[in-house]
Structure 1
């Protein structure tokens, strides 16, 4: 039962992080333009994938979550080269948001940036939680 409670307690911050990440991504796109907005959006896309990994598997280690998030982001980017996400995205705004539309090789470099940033923050937060009074009691 304690494991179930611990997992649930870890999912709440992950769900909040997902909402904040989506808000940050939309905010970046609304406030900025050009390459800065695009590549910040790419990194934040991977941060969102990272947070979703943590939401599904709350005890995942940061490095494993980062590798998985970057791999999923790369897979989606490479899938864009088929043209299918673009065609599907023309019919559905949600599909367009999730899968994007056009393959862009520089995007591949920004996914590890987002994954590394998320993993670093995750490690810092885990370390802070481990040293907080009352943790483990």
Structure 2
């Protein structure tokens, strides 16, 4: 057979990408739900962590064979980079003109967000490791 067989090692990246894309959708839904149901400080901080979880899932979509610790590092680095970019004022200017820019880039730097990004990276890592352990054949555990 020339096609990708889903049950084989060759099919694992495809399954991983699909699972990560599903996790990305669930992460967005969770963020919107928390924001609409709870609100306040809890919604703001959990939304910050979920931002990094979303970045984590998108990194897995792009690089499904990457090790969880590397994905966590990239997700945390991207999240921190976006936060520090807010010091430049560019995200605020773009956010004033565009709802998607506001969702992706935010607008103002908040140092209190930095540890919450680390929480999101840790949550993504924990979920990734758990899913890999559950899905791994017994000989690979």
1:62 aligns with 2:68: yes
Who is 1:29 aligned against?
A: 35
1:113 aligns with 2:119: yes
CA-CA distance at 1:26 after TM superposition: 0.9
Distance in 2 between residues matched to 1:4 and 1:99, nearest whole Å: 36
Deviations 1:99-127 (A, max 9, x none): 01110000001001000011011101100
Deviating above 3 A after TM superposition, structure 1's stretches of 4 or more consecutive aligned residues are 1-4
Distance in 2 between residues matched to 1:101 and 1:63, nearest whole Å: 29
| Within-5 A mapping of 1:55-94 | 55-94=61-100
Q: Which runs of 5+ in 1 are unaligned?
A: none
1:43 aligns with 2:46: no
Distance in 2 between residues matched to 1:4 and 1:127, nearest whole Å: 18
Distance in 1 between residues matched to 2:108 and 2:24, nearest whole Å: 24
TM-score between the two structures when normalised by the length of structure 2: 0.89
When the two chains are superposed, the root-mean-square deviation of aligned CA atoms in Å is: 1.7
CA-CA distance at 1:33 after TM superposition: 1.8
CA-CA distance at 1:6 after TM superposition: 2.1
